[in-house]
Amino acid sequence: MGSKLGVNIDHVATLRQARQAAEPDPVHAAVLAELAGAQGITVHLRHDRRHIHERDVELLRRTVKTRLNVEMAATDEMIGILTRIRPDMCTLVPERPEEVTTTGGLNVIDHEAAVRSAIQALGGAGIRVSIFIDPDEAQIRRAAELGCRMIEINTGRYAELVPADLEHAPAAAWEEYERIRQTARLAVSLGLRVLAGHGLTYRNVMPIAMIGEIEELNIGHNIMARAVLVGLERAVREMIQLISD
């Protein structure tokens, strides 16, 4: 059956913010990703607004035709913004100001109160709530107990252990893969829908896509990295044509 694809377009906003310019616009990127067949668009609205801004989420809310998923920390500020904008779905993630990207799943056992109130507030506004979580049995059981109906399993450690293909990866990579498979199965048996993501690439994605319980993969960095390279030649040719005519 295969997995659906949610495309994370944060990097388009990162490039825009590198010049604090108007382009490239993540809204345009979302349109192209959907035209190419993406089944969802994901952005992370961070406290420091380093890439995606509220304006982007507002416009994406009005333009995305598939499913808009906003990653967010479980804070009052984010709950206020997102219950106003009402994306289709929010994914609760841990957020540390100094991190380059999300590191590790949200510890729902340590942050039970914040998770519970985020699920209630967002759910009350008609927003589906998912939690980004490590492939850990205790964490997944607690997420289900807290009323969560959907999780995104963190594949970050798997991706670190599998830079190329799983077949030639060390035993630790196979163990991590097995952990993801088992916890996906457990989650479904607890009534949860299961997504996965972080660090997935064109090289290491296949074994994860083959896990039947995982409905959808969220991929950002590697798709954007490839887009820059496969699109560069055409962009240069177009500029040469423009200035040489």
Active site residue 71: yes
The half-sphere exposure of 29 on its side-chain side, counting CA atoms within 13 A, is 26
Question: Whose CB is nearest to ligand PXP?
Answer: 220
Is 44 an annotated catalytic residue?
Answer: yes
Region of residue 199 (left: phi > 0; alpha: psi -120 to 50; beta: else): left
Q: Which parts of 59-78 interact with ligand PXP (CB under 6 A)?
A: 71
Binding mask 29-58 for ligand PXP (x = CB under 6 A): ---------------x--------------
Residue of 71, 95, 152, 216 marked catalytic: 71
> Has 28 been annotated as catalytic?
no
Binding residues among 191-230 for ligand PXP as defined by CB under 6 A: 197-200, 218-222
Are 219 and 245 in contact by the 8 Å Cβ rule? The answer is: no
What are the tokens at 74? Answer: 């479980």
For ligand PXP, give the closer residue by CB, 139 or 218: 218
Q: Within a 10 A sphere around the Cβ of 141, how many other Cβ atoms?
A: 16
- Please tell me whether residue 8 binds ligand PXP under the rule CB under 6 A: yes
C-alpha distance across the termini of the chain, in Å = 50
Tell me the closest approach of the beta carbon of residue 28 to ligand PXP, in angstroms: 19
- H helical segments located in 199-220: 205-209
Indicate which residues carry an active-site annotation: 44, 71, 198
Residues that bind ligand PXP (CB under 6 A): 8, 10, 44, 71, 91, 93, 101-102, 132, 152, 197-200, 218-222
